Structure 1
Amino acid sequence: MSGQNDDHWFKYYRYDPSLAAAILFTIFFLITTLLHTYQLIRTKTWIVIPLIVGGFFEYFGYIGRAISSTQTPNWTLGPFVIQAVLLLVAPALFAATVYMELGRIILLVDGEHHSIIRKKWLTKTFVAGDVLSFLMQSSGASIMAGKTVTAVRNGQHIVIGGLVIQILFFGFFVIVALVFNLRINKAPTARSASHNVPWKKHIQALYYASALIMLRSVFRVIEYAQGNAGYIISHEVFLYIFDSVLMLGLMILLNIVHPSEIYALIRGGKVSRGGLKLYTLSQPSLAYS
């Protein structure tokens, strides 16, 4: 590989990016992100801020792909870097919201004694790993834009390292959630046993969200491990199946099973159900009948 011409070996894209697909997902991510923004403003559920930022990353990332599609085959660096970096790191921001919601669920059901990590350290531990993963992925993707064989190789290794860290932390997070779930099912607290506290619905949503992020991260590891001329990165359809659709599904899932219900049960306030329906809870849990 070192004997190959650098410019010949590295290409921004190994296919002609689809303008239709890029526009479609630009619209989809804009809609769900604006809905999340509306839900945030109405319910003041601050833990969804990273999710919203990640949604806008996806939106601008697909705008970058749309611009690139109009430049085929003479792609420029700017749109390529925008889509490569933003689409790569957005799920790390989604993960931050998922991590923080578990802490609120544990608080809601008075279940800290069932968690293998104290609530004080739960969010800090996983968000710290998430930040490290975010920084490694973003810096690695930026380094790859250097186009030389050395830059691309180094960037790929850093991105893979960041993705592996994300997978490890997410795997540990799922273990923590499952252990908590099993323990509280075996020895319920008064609040977890109450029919007025629908915490199971929210922890199930976190499992689904975690599965989507995990599957997408494993896909990305395989993609980067194959290199710039690999089979996966040479076929655009894989990006849309194993990244775009999965991350869009996660955002829509959290539009519907919105974390505001947990917030409202803890401190009162407004809750979003089914995406747009808003209700006001004046008292924690007692407001449900």
Structure 2
Amino acid sequence: MGKIINFLIYHYVPSLGWNASFLALFALSALVHSYQAYRSRFWIFYPTLVLGAVVEVMGYAARVWSSQDVYKLDPFLMQIVLLGFAPVYFSAFVYIVLGMAINRIGQQYSVLTPKMYFYTFICADLVSLVLQAVGGGQAASGAATGAPTQTATNIMVAGIIFQLCTMAIFVGCGIDFAIRAARDKPWAFRVRRMASAQATATSMLTPTPSDTEKGAEIAGSDQGEQAELGKWRKIMAATFISSTMILLRGESLSGAWCLSSLPGFFRSVELSQGWSGYLISHEIYQAVLDGIPMVIAVGIFNLVHPGLILGRKASWRGYY
């Protein structure tokens, strides 16, 4: 009976070719990121993109396992849980990158401070991760014993939807920051706060530079700022692509909308339809709406690596 139930959960035999290809791509990305992070001393890559890619590798290894024995329950549950929360690590990285950009380009263009981005969105990611892990664990336990899994599935769906809402807010804030920085349109309240803080910090008397010195400093500063802004535009473009892929991975406006007659999210719709729903029973949606977007989300930073654009850090300390 257990074998029949498990085959009905999949409704297909997972493709060895598709899943082995994704496993290889994520493994390659993880290895390249590890080397790039070591060379550039950007240690933040290890607990985010590298770890996330490793989780993807484990998830697709489970699907490869299923392709060899579709009746086993463990690999099915492994791939559901692992592939469900692997993108949390990728979103954590793009949150940090935006904070780095704000620090370098100017905090006056951002509605939130870099620290606020870090605490707000990383904490939101942790909440999402816990919800998905708890839901996945309960689903695994329930499926193994034949108990109902709907409550556990709902918890997983809640975690995924929470992650997607958080990412949508982040993308909005990131676009606002990029537009304001490009047009030099800072937030008025941020300018006032920064001016007040600067006035306090420079309250002590300092020598006044001559007009010639001021002119040279301004010219040099303008050239340096333009060069710096050009570098960060490339990184922000990669961040936008990665964030969009994370959203597309969850949001199936073309698939889930048409198939369920409601606008929705791939993973949330997939799970909410149940273990015999249309999306979960057709592997093509797993490949096109999950695998490919996630390969792009992590792989884009192999091509547009902050270490290659900004140069090697002087030490391992700090994010950048």
Same fold? TM cut 0.5: yes
- Give yes or no for contact 1:108–1:262 (8 Å, CA) kept in 2: no
8 A contact 1:192–1:199 mirrored in 2: no
**Is 1:200 paired with 2:209?**
no
Q: CA RMSD in A?
A: 2.6
State yes or no: 1:91 paired with 2:124. no
Per-residue CA deviations over 1:36-95 (Å, capped at 9, x if unaligned) read 1111111111221211001011111111111111113x22x3322222211111100110
Please tell me whether the aligned partners of residues 10 and 228 of structure 1 are also in contact (alpha carbons under 8 angstroms). no
Q: Deviations over 1:177-214 (max 9, x none)?
A: 11111221221795885134411111111111111001
Of 77, 96, 112, which residue of structure 2 is paired with 1:81? 77
Deviations along 1:6-62, one digit per CA (max 9) or x if unpaired, are x85994422111122221211111111111111111111122121100101111111
Q: Which has the higher contact order (CA 8 A, sep 6+)?
A: 2
- Counterpart-to-counterpart distance in 2, 1:56 and 1:182: 34
| Structure with bigger gyration radius | 2
User: Taking structure 2 as the reference length, what is the TM-score of the superposition?
Assistant: 0.75
Determine the structure 2 residue equivalent to 1:41: 38
The percentage of aligned residue pairs carrying the same residue is 32
What is the deviation of 1:138? Answer: 1.9
Counterpart Cα distance in 2 of 1:151 and 1:142: 13
Q: Does 1:182 align with 2:179?
A: yes
* Alignment partner, residue 13 of structure 2: 16
User: Quick one: distance in 2 between partners of 1:46 and 1:125?
Assistant: 21
Q: Residues 19 and 60 of structure 2 are in contact (CA less than 8 Å); yes or no, is this contact kept in structure 1?
A: yes
Q: Which residue of 1 aligns with 2:189?
A: none
Q: Which runs of 5+ in 1 are unaligned?
A: 271-283, 285-289
Q: What CA deviation, in whole Å up to 9, does each residue of 1:127-160 have, x standing for no partner?
A: 1001111111122122222127764201211111
Say if 1:54 and 1:90, in contact at 8 Å, map to a contact too: yes
Aligned length: 262
CA offsets, 1:235-255, max 9 Å, x none? 011001011111011121110
Aligned partner of residue 194 in structure 1, secondary structure: helix
Q: Is the 8 A contact 2:127 2:159 kept in 1?
A: yes
Decide whether the 8 Å contact of 2:135 with 2:156 is kept in 1: yes
Larger CA deviation: 209-218 vs 78-87: 78-87
Q: Which amino acid aligns with 1:201?
A: K
1:248 aligns with 2:295: yes
2:131 aligned residue: 136
The one-letter amino acid of 2:55's match is: F
User: 2:250·2:289 contact (CA, 8 Å) conserved in 1?
Assistant: no
Which amino acid counterpart does residue 138 of structure 1 have in structure 2? A
TM-score normalized by the length of structure 1 = 0.83
